A and B are shown apart, each in its own frame.
Chain A
Amino acid sequence: MKVKGNVFKYGDNVDTDVIIPARHLTSADPDHLKQHCMEDIDPGFVNRVSAGDIMVAGKNFGCGSSREHAPVAIKASGISLVIAADFARIFYRNSINTGLPIMECPEASGKIEAGDVIEADFETGIITNITKGEAYQAKAFPEFISRIIEAGGLVEYTKKELGL
């Protein structure tokens, strides 16, 4: 599967409090969460984002709270993929579990700029920067993680393991 979109670029250590502030956690409804996504560091984000757009950030993306509302808010906003140099571990798990596509790629994180148009191939991990005419290789998922993704997420994986 491939996705293509305009890039929203952020720096290092984007924390879950700015992805979705705790004051909005009184509901876990994706339609509610998407209205407040990124509002504390990028107040215009929800008005500018279009379905399919791609978020690119530096290192330690999603650090802080364990709130699964963060990847849910990003996915609901229309973002089709988050690329970062690396992810905080709970955010990483939550993204896999809730079906927000993520890729770890320090090179892409360093070279892609805001407004670039990029295309990413989930099978090969190749990220193509159409604006700059460059390509970058994302890290492959460990085999076990691929099994969860292939099963359709953690819920389906768990059902399979429990024989349900």
Chain B
Amino acid sequence: MGMTITQKILAAHTGLDSVAAGDLIEASLDVVLGNDVTLPPAVKVFGDVGTGKVFDKTKICLIQDHFTPNKDIKSAELARCMRCFAREQDISHYYELGRPEMGIEHVILPDNGIVFPGDLVIGADSHTCTYGAAGAFSTGVGSTDLACAMARGKTWFKVPEAIKVVLKGKKGKDITGKDIILHLIGMIGVDGALYKSLEFTGDGVKDLTMCDRLTICNMAIECGAKNGLFPVDEITYDYISRTNPERYQADDYTAFEADDDAEYSQTIEIDLSEVPFTVALPHLPSNTRDASSVKDMKIDQVVVGSCTNGRIDDIRKAAEVLKGRHVHPDVRCIIIPGSQKVYRTALDEGLLAIFDDAGCVISTPTCGPCLGGHMGVLAKGERCVSTTNRNFVGRMGDVGSEVILAGVPVACASAVLGRVGTPDELGEV
């Protein structure tokens, strides 16, 4: 029987010729990731396992991004715990804030060339599923899984069934990957892909940038999926040839393709030309609307950033919308480049000056407000249009605050308009 891309990657890391949906396997890991919230509990568990040493110090990434620069004494202690562990174990992919490699975990792992097609990655962060954009299998786990994986270099998986998502046609002007994934989550619900892979295919894929694909796979978890995956094509090769030229030239990776007779539990077709500017209203990512149907919703804050939409293409798009315009008097607009490289590029390209002229706050890279940590927490009754990934009750602050999820063009247009709005509403500058 044929296999999906996910199944092929899992089989290759298990030493089997084939696997089938439902099989429980133990697979070898290429990359294991932890952050400042999930690693500290794992350090304790790692001690309990008792190997003393991690399985391979070059395959572990420890990234401080959630509460950094540290927001209080307790978060500083979490960071210190990670720093001590990273030094003790001589972890290769550990960086201090401000260094060129540093930033939000799911922005830097692909951008630094750590994840390649065919890799198998787990991370103690639910948005680890982002790397399917580069043809890797990647999924989120908890701290105990992280600890045992750091000790053993292996973890268990139930081989997932897959949903085939066929993307057709070409998206409209300023429609982004965010609109596409919100549209899909709205179609199938927050548990529509529970335990399954989302494998994207179709002639529409070729017009999606790597930034679009990373955003789409990032939010696969928001419909319950184990992972999201794009086929490897010219756009992938162009990307990985820039992120890690040495590995690319050494041909040290595998671009798997799905078999023609691979089985899918469901096939969903999306005509990209019909995807509108899409927002998700409180309090579920599946509560989606055409943005133009909710233009009466006034807002207090806009956040542009996060592992979902903090890449250089996102920041460039934000600058394009905000150039020569001003943030509405009733709105705070917080721009958070997703990594130090993104920040520096934005600086070099003059984008930060555009944001400053528009009246935005520019933050250092951090997850910060996305999970209500710091750098933009909401008060009771406040409403934020955000390019982040979750709008659960209390996600960005008080339980009486609201988050509306949107792509960068809608978020920035909303910042100017003071309400939910779309870029085509903005007049000439």
Contact surface of A with B, Cβ cutoff 8 Å: 12-13, 15, 17-18, 21-23, 25-28, 40-41, 59-60, 63-69, 72, 86, 88-90, 93-94, 97-98, 142-145, 148, 153-155, 157-159, 161-162, 164
Indicate if the CB atoms of B145 and A142 lie closer than 8 Å: no
Indicate if the CB atoms of A68 and B194 lie closer than 8 Å: no
Contacts of A97 in B (CB 8 A): 142, 144-145
Contacting A at CB under 8 A, from B354-402, are 371-373, 390, 392-395, 399
B67 contacts chain A at the CB level, 8 A cutoff = yes
Closest to A142 in B: B24
Chain B interface size, under 10 / 10 to 19 / 20 to 34 / 35 or more: 35 or more
Indicate if the CB atoms of B148 and A154 lie closer than 8 Å: yes
- Chain A to chain B contacts (Cβ below 8 Å), 27 pairs: A13-B284, A15-B392, A17-B390, A18-B393, A18-B394, A22-B66, A26-B67, A27-B74, A40-B394, A59-B191, A60-B224, A63-B190, A65-B125, A66-B124, A66-B141, A67-B38, A68-B38, A68-B142, A72-B41, A97-B142, A155-B147, A158-B148, A159-B49, A159-B50, A162-B151, A164-B49, A164-B51
Q: Evaluate whether A89 and B372 lie within 8 angstroms (CB atoms) in the complex, with A40-B393, A159-B49 already known.
A: no
Q: Evaluate whether A13 and B191 lie within 8 angstroms (CB atoms) in the complex, with A28-B40, A88-B224 already known.
A: yes
Q: Evaluate whether A18 and B392 lie within 8 angstroms (CB atoms) in the complex, with A27-B74, A68-B38, A159-B50 already known.
A: yes
| A137 to B158 Cα, complex, angstroms | 23
Q: Bits for B119-161, please: 1 = Cβ < 8 Å to A, else 0.
A: 0000111101000000000001111110110011000101000
| A25 to B125 Cα, complex, angstroms | 13
Contacts of B45 in A (CB 8 A): 155
Indicate if the CB atoms of A142 and B158 lie closer than 8 Å: yes
| A2 to B172 Cα, complex, angstroms | 58
Q: Evaluate whether A23 and B372 lie within 8 angstroms (CB atoms) in the complex, with A60-B194, A63-B224, A142-B24 already known.
A: yes
Q: Evaluate whether A26 and B72 lie within 8 angstroms (CB atoms) in the complex, with A158-B151, A162-B51 already known.
A: yes
A-B interface, 7 closest residue pairs, ranked by CB to CB distance from nearest: A26-B74, A68-B142, A97-B144, A94-B142, A60-B191, A144-B24, A22-B371
| A52 to B231 Cα, complex, angstroms | 49
Contacts of B123 in A (CB 8 A): 66
| A22 to B125 Cα, complex, angstroms | 13
| A40 to B395 Cα, complex, angstroms | 10
Closest to B192 in A: A60
Closest chain-B Cβ to A139's Cβ sits at a distance in Å of 13
Indicate if the CB atoms of B393 and A17 lie closer than 8 Å: yes
Indicate if the CB atoms of B195 and A89 lie closer than 8 Å: yes
Closest chain-A Cβ to B43's Cβ sits at a distance in Å of 10
| A154 to B144 Cα, complex, angstroms | 7
Indicate if the CB atoms of A86 and B148 lie closer than 8 Å: no
Contacts of B190 in A (CB 8 A): 13, 60, 63
| A34 to B158 Cα, complex, angstroms | 31
Indicate if the CB atoms of B148 and A66 lie closer than 8 Å: no
| A161 to B226 Cα, complex, angstroms | 25
| A154 to B155 Cα, complex, angstroms | 10
Closest chain-A Cβ to B82's Cβ sits at a distance in Å of 13
Contacts of A22 in B (CB 8 A): 37, 66, 371-373, 395
